[in-house]
């Protein structure tokens, strides 16, 4: 039998040589608090999160880690490390790592300075879980993401019916299709139909993505 890889009908399966698992993208988190929801989202996408105990980033350490992304809390930087200059320094010395920053400041000129310095995402902290997820997604697609600047897909997401919003809110709180049906006095099949329409409108493939985008656009509260 021919030992051809990836050819239907002629693949020889050798138990001692398991299929190669795709390498995980590494995300280093330089922040004191890391949302549990973020770790769950990353695992679903074959991404590995490693929290770091200190806020300052050593470019040499970051380069050696091979991390594709780094998330930095600017509020935790020492005073001698100005935020914009820190971002510019990292961009110059570790250009292969996509940097996303967290901040409590909500100033457009500050956002602009950070992105011009090289930040691939700027996230205002409260609330920021959904924003951080979308920043990582945008960075992976080569886009820049800034808190409060919705994309065309996100703006379209607000066009849902009152019943769809009720279903979405219950989904966000972890209710099953049967539980949603009982609460809204509708059949499970009707719930499934509402979910399918919501996924299509939100551009989501599962409940977690739908809820994250709904939080981002203000359809439901986190």
* CA distances for 89 relative to 46, 81, 137, angstroms: 29, 10, 23
DSSP H/E element including 217 = none
- Tokens 């010395």 correspond to 93
On whether the CB atoms of residues 117 and 162 are closer than 8 A, the answer is no
3-state secondary structure of 78: coil
pLDDT value for 148: 62
**pLDDT tens across the length of the chain (222 residues):** 444 443 333 333 344 444 444 567 899 999 887 766 677 778 777 888 998 877 778 999 999 999 999 999 999 999 899 999 999 999 999 999 999 999 988 888 999 999 999 999 998 876 556 677 778 878 888 888 877 665 655 555 457 888 998 999 898 888 999 999 999 999 999 999 999 998 887 777 788 778 877 776 667 765
- Burial track 165-187 (b if 16+ CB lie within 10 A, e otherwise): bbbbbbbbeebebeebbeebebe
Q: Residue 102: which of 70, 79, 80 has the closest Cα?
A: 70
CA distance 38 to 5: 36
pLDDT value for 13: 36
Question: Looking at the domain covering 25-149, what would its CATH class be?
Answer: alpha beta
pLDDT value for 9: 38
pLDDT value for 136: 83
Q: Where are the domains of the chain?
A: 25-149, 153-216
pLDDT value for 4: 44
pLDDT value for 17: 45
- Encoding tokens for residue 41? 């989202």
CATH level 3 topology of 153-216: Arc Repressor Mutant, subunit A (1.10.10)
pLDDT value for 210: 81
3-state secondary structure of 30: strand
CA distance 57 to 210: 33
Q: How many residues does the chain have?
A: 222
Q: Which long-range contacts (CB under 8 A, 24 or more apart) does 176-184 make?
A: none
pLDDT value for 126: 62
pLDDT value for 113: 96
Report field, pTM of the whole predicted structure over 0.75: no
CA distance 191 to 180: 7
pLDDT value for 47: 87
pLDDT value for 211: 80
pLDDT value for 11: 39
CA distance 134 to 212: 8
């Amino acid at each position: 039998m021919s030992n051809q890889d990836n050819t239907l009908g002629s693949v020889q399966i050798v138990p001692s040589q398991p299929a190669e698992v795709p390498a995980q993208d590494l995300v280093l988190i330089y922040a004191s608090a890391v949302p549990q929801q973020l770790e769950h989202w990353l695992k679903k996408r074959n991404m590995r999160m490693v929290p770091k105990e200190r806020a300052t980033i050593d470019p040499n350490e970051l380069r050696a880690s091979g991390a594709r992304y780094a998330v930095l809390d600017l509020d935790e930087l020492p005073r001698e490390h100005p935020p914009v200059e820190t971002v510019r320094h990292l961009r110059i010395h570790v250009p292969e790592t996509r940097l996303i920053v967290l901040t409590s400041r909500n100033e457009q000129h500050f956002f602009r300075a950070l992105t011009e310095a090289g930040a691939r995402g700027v996230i205002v902290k409260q609330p920021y879980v959904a924003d951080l997820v979308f920043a990582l997604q945008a960075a992976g697609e080569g886009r820049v993401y800034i808190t409060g600047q919705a994309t065309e897909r996100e703006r379209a997401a607000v066009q849902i019916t009152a019943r769809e919003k009720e279903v979405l809110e219950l989904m966000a709180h972890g209710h099953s299709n049967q539980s949603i049906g009982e609460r809204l006095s509708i059949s499970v099949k009707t719930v499934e139909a509402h979910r399918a329409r919501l996924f299509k409108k939100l551009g989501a493939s599962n409940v977690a993505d739908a809820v994250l985008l709904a939080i981002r656009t203000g359809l439901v509260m986190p």
